[in-house]
């Protein structure tokens, strides 16, 4: 994990993730995002109408599929007390 060091020297070096709850006319929407801490761009995301324990992992898998990083990635999850929603993965 990153601790408090969020500075990155290049893209795909450090990623962060979080889940937001958004109220819509159809009910709650849960949005998980993975952001590249260098470019500040969203590199992966997933949505659901329920808080599912694999929502953050789905967002991470999408980011890995699109970005296809060639070196290990340091990651940070700000998901707090929702520890089942934390993900732990590194690119090979």
Q: Residue 89 pLDDT > 90, yes or no? A: no
pLDDT digits (tens, 9 = 90+) for 59-74: 989 998 988 877 666 5
For the chain, give every domain's residue range: 14-79
User: How far is 54 from 41, CA to CA, in rounded Å?
Assistant: 22
Residues 6+ away with beta carbon under 8 Å from 12 = 36, 38, 43, 67, 69, 71, 73, 91
**What are the tens digits of pLDDT across the range 2-52?**
456 667 777 777 888 889 999 999 999 999 999 888 888 999 999 999 988
For the whole model, what pTM was predicted? 0.71
Query: With contact defined as beta carbons under 8 Å apart, do 18 and 33 qualify?
Result: yes
Cα 35 to Cα 27, 31, 54, 85, distances in angstroms: 25, 13, 17, 16
pLDDT at residue number 21: 93
| pLDDT for res 22 | 95
């Amino acid at each position: 994990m990153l601790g408090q060091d969020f500075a990155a020297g290049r893209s795909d070096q450090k990623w962060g993730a979080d889940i937001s709850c958004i109220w819509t006319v159809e009910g709650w929407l849960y949005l998980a995002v993975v952001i590249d801490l260098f470019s500040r761009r969203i590199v992966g995301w997933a949505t659901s109408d329920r808080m599912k324990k694999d929502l953050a992992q789905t967002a991470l898998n999408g980011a890995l599929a699109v970005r296809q990083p060639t070196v290990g990635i340091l990651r940070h999850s700000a998901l707090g007390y929702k520890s089942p929603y934390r993900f732990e993965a590194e690119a090979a």
